[in-house]
Amino acid sequence: MNKIERKIRNADKRVEKLMSENKFMESFTTNKFSVDGTGNIYTYLNPSMQHCFSSGRYFLQDFEEWAKGTGRIVFGKTQEEKEEYMAIARFESENKDAWMLRAYWEDIGNSFKNLEKPRTTKDKISKALLAVIRSYSNDALWYYPNLERLDDELLGAVVALSAIGCGTLGAMNYQNPENLSYMRQVAIAEVVFIYYHEKGMVPDYSIIFNKR
């Protein structure tokens, strides 16, 4: 084994160790390091959390900095911004179902209101599903582990609403307040949010949506 081969092997092992120690460094690809024409070793990165980290060609030093929450891979123009992205990445990588907050962030807190006299289809759906999630959201720390039960109850409500012609059953990723399938997911995200919010764990997602 020559000097370059040894250098590549050591870099591969080092990145593997860093990724095993930091869940947020999970990647879709596990490319091995290569050497360019100038003798520098590099690899291509395709991170799982592409809302926080950049894909591209990087050197070993970039991975060392990434593990510390700084450097070229982490989004953000300033270190303060990078720390906001890192807070989101750590939160999502370490907590079950946390990804739902980002997926439904713009609807959480806005979709379910205790409407006295619902007039539109959107209002009726919100009021009906609110009745299902209220008991969960009032004591989310207790009910959160029972998301499967919540999902079953929401499914029953959604089927009933559909049967009386209130709303539609579209694709879950079709963002429409009259889409019962989508609103069912938002209802679950609402309970997940309350659970983590009561524990003081929710990071500020606004930096992601302000970037759009």
E strand intervals along 84-162: none
pLDDT of amino acid 137: 63
Relative to beta strand 41-45, strand 56-58 is antiparallel
pTM metric for this prediction: 0.82
Element (H, E) at 56: strand 56-58
What H or E segment, with its residue span, contains residue 43?
strand 41-45
In this predicted structure, what is the pLDDT of residue 135?
67
List the one residue out of 109, 128, 116, 108 whose CA is nearest residue 178. 128
- What was the pLDDT predicted at 113? 59
Q: Are 188 and 162 in contact (CB under 8 A)?
A: no
Q: What is the pLDDT of residue 144?
A: 61
Look at residue 138 in the predicted model and tell me its pLDDT: 63
Tell me what pLDDT residue 1 has: 66
Per-residue pLDDT of the chain (212 residues; tens, 9 = 90+): 688 888 889 889 999 999 999 999 988 776 788 888 787 899 999 999 999 999 999 999 999 999 999 999 999 999 999 999 999 999 999 988 899 999 988 888 776 655 566 667 777 777 777 777 776 666 655 556 677 888 888 888 888 888 888 888 888 888 888 888 888 898 888 888 888 888 899 998 888 887 65
pLDDT of residue 123: 75
Phi/psi zone of residue 69: left (φ > 0), alpha (ψ -120 to 50 degrees), beta? left
Query: For residues 36 and 24, what is the distance between their CA atoms, to the nearest angstrom?
Result: 28
In this structure, are residues 174 and 181 in contact, taking their beta carbons and an 8 Å threshold?
A: yes
Q: What is the pLDDT of residue 43?
A: 92
